[in-house]
Structure 1
Amino acid sequence: MRWRKAGFVDETDFLLRSRRQRSPAEVEMQSILTCVTQAHNPRLMLLAGSVCIAGIYASFSVANQAVRSEGAARRNWAGISIVAAGCTAWATHMIALLAFDPGMAAGFEPIMTALSLLTGIGGIGLGMALAVGRRHRLRRLAAGLILGLGIAALHYLGQASYRVTGQVAWDMSLVAGSCLMGLTLFGLALMMAGERNRGLRRFGAPLVLAAIVVLHIGGMSAVTLTFDPEVALPSTAVPPATIAPILAAVSLGLLILAFVGLRLTLHARAQQQQDQQRLRDLANIALEGLAVCDGEVIATANHSLERLS
């Protein structure tokens, strides 16, 4: 996001005046670099990244708990995971918007802000419903694209709810580029998350984080704000000071959920180890040689098979 004031000349104004001397690709890259390095409060951006990481971990942990559960418990955990994922994307985006300094009075249109959150949760819910328990990669890829559409809609509805005392112009090539790259990353994330190989599954969460970062940086770099004293904020605009406590509460909830997810993961691993040890003890009682295979690899074998070998 870039802004200009009447009578104020800075690197951004020079960039806008020199568009004719630079190629479109060079102008867009300079816009992104300026947005990232100069227009945002680094502490709030660090907070946004921390909330995003904690929320993604919490969402994936609770989603894994839903896969391990059955019946009503499975539906409940799945619902919590979907809401957590939507709140993660929304809180990350809104904190990053608060980190931006437009150089003029700003606020948020309340209905569109709430609609951005609900749209994100709906898109994530539909994508997760199509992806959970599916082994077909193309099915999970399609689910990831649907999930990505929901988060992209969340991002740009939230950005459109941002009101300033000035004129707003969009660079649609950057908008399209951020959406295309973000959707690709979301599709790959859900495809990786359902793989049997544990090493590949670990790429799921980082890819989601990368997709959210791409959407935010691309969207913010695509907007130019021009200060106009004749433009007033709507009377219904919510000031950033009012949004901040709401975001703090959502962030705290995601942090608590991340700890709950960690505890669930550790408990599931301990239970799995106990079950495996119980099976090994039972297998060792048998006189016959027994082996448990994972494809063509022997995962474990009892004492009888070891002696026979």
Structure 2
Amino acid sequence: MEFLGQDKREGLGRKAHSRFVLVLLMLVSILLLLSSLYSAQASVFKKAREGVMDAASPILSFFSAPINYVHDVAGSVGDYFNVMEQNEALRAENAELRQWMVEALELRETVATYNALQGYQAPPSAQPVTAFVIGESNDAFARSMIVNAGRARNVEVGQAVVDDHGLIGRIVEAGGAASRVLLLTDIQSRIPVYVEGADIEGILVGNTRVNPVITVTVTSDDVEIAPGQRVMTSGSGGALPRGLPVGEVSGERNGGIVVDLYTNYARTRMVRVINYAFPTVDPVEDEATAADSDQPPVEG
């Protein structure tokens, strides 16, 4: 009996185990089936997608060329306008920088000219008036400048005008706020001068086309003139102060002495008007006249 029960239990155990194995195999089979179906479906979709891409590739290539061209043109046009805007901005910036550069150069030139003018030592009685050149009058026969200083600043006719290099001329017309300067190169200009280091005095006569020439008035027979000797104002007649630099001797022409002027009118922007009062000498009375003037008048 015991064997019969034992066989029965063992048969039931084997049965249960077989069922479990069968169920397990069925689950594995189902999983493998699903996996194979998914793989087949994925392969089908992949092949379909690749076929669509292959079919659409020529069409996309055909339409992509004009699209890319339009895109490139649009980008080029946009870049062109951006470059134009940048160029306009750079032009404006360059114009502003050039203006500042011009102003800086003018300021530097003004400061340098003023510093050079400071080196000029005027006579004790002279009162220099600083002025700027505001106009020029140059033609076949006239050489003159207009400066922004006139009678309101004690500028009078006949006064000398100098720049940082030397004498440029003299005042011939004085208005309230402006004056006209007759340059040394004007044909009407006559300036008393002397040659430094030589016993020579004369009148510097202007010439509109060439350098002015000294017409000698005082000289000695054995004087020799050499190029490079300085020419200065002599102060004769009290018209101009003595010792203003005029130029250098450069040679001779028609019996006169050619002078190379120190000043360069093309660069003259700031000048000084020498408000010079020529000193006067009081007359000296002799002793007899002084004694007679001291005696009281005789009553008749």
TM class by shorter chain equals under 0.3
TM-score normalised per structure 1? 0.20
The structure with more strand, counted as a fraction of residues = 2
Structure with larger RCO (C-alpha < 8 A, sep 6+): 1
The structure with more helix, counted as a fraction of residues = 1
Q: Which has the larger radius of gyration?
A: 2
